[in-house]
Chains A and B, each alone.
Chain A
Amino acid sequence: LAKTTQPISMDSYEGQEVNITCSHNNIATNDYITWYQQFPSQGPRFIIQGYKTKVTNEVASLFIPADRKSSTLSLPRVSLSDTAVYYCPLLGGSYIPTFGRGTSLIVHP
């Protein structure tokens, strides 16, 4: 059964770079790695997705090592508005995302 492990919570300060790591030891060969962000009382929204190596967009970077058993979401120079819960759901055999508790990031002034 595909399962991910993330830190429950993290704290940072404005302007710092934040790295959130997700472990997914049983990732399937075909599965992509996707990260979502959720603000309180809102639905999650897609941040970034990748299969291997490094992916960068205007919001974040995603680092995936060669064995693909983990991935790291990197948020450059965070601001207070980056305070949210971050998820790295894995796909089960039916390709349906399974969301764990995610990582609650709190950015302090």
Chain B
Amino acid sequence: DGGITQSPKYLFRKEGQNVTLSCEQNLNHDAMYWYRQDPGQGLRLIYYSQIVNDFQKGDIAEGYSVSREKKESFPLTVTSAQKNPTAFYLCASSGTVSPYNEQFFGPGTRLTVL
């Protein structure tokens, strides 16, 4: 069964701690993305990767870091430098980055920083 998995679904952390959100896909997609969604808002792009060992900053990359060591995995680390990390985090993938880009999204991770 192909798809994208994110874990955990809910995550609680104390302020000042780094936390890593997992994203795995078995769709054999080259491109992967991380978005952040706040209540009542749209999705904002944090980072994206078009190919293994390469990634680009999105609109709100400050306070976040990523790695893309394997095609199927794109973990996101929320660092203590992120001023307001509590949000719903969505990972997505697509075959490539193209004009007819169709993205497949994971179920999301809701991060709460106490």
Contact = CB atoms under 8 A, between A and B. Distances in A.
A102 B103 CA distance: 16
Interface of B: 4, 33, 35, 40-45, 48, 56, 58, 88, 90-92, 97-108, 110
Contact of B97 (A30, A43, A94): A94
A43 B92 contact: yes
Interface in A57-104: 87, 91, 94-102
Contacts of B88: 41
Contact of B42 (A31, A46, A102): A102
Given A87-B42, A99-B42, A102-B42, A43 B106 contact: yes
B101 A34 contact: yes
Interface of A is mostly: loop
B107 A43 contact: yes
A95 B97 contact: yes
A49 interface: yes
A54 interface: no
Contact of A98 (B4, B45, B104): B45
A108 interface: no
B43 A91 contact: no
A7 B100 CA distance: 24
Contacts of B43: 44, 87, 99
A31 B98 CA distance: 9
B81 to A, nearest CB: 23
Contact of A43 (B48, B56, B90, B99): B90
21 contacts: A34-B101, A34-B102, A42-B108, A43-B106, A43-B108, A44-B105, A45-B105, A46-B102, A49-B100, A49-B102, A87-B43, A91-B99, A91-B101, A94-B56, A95-B99, A96-B48, A96-B101, A97-B103, A99-B42, A99-B44, A101-B42
- Interface centre among A31, A91, A97, by most chain B C-beta atoms within 10 angstroms, is A97
A32 B40 contact: no
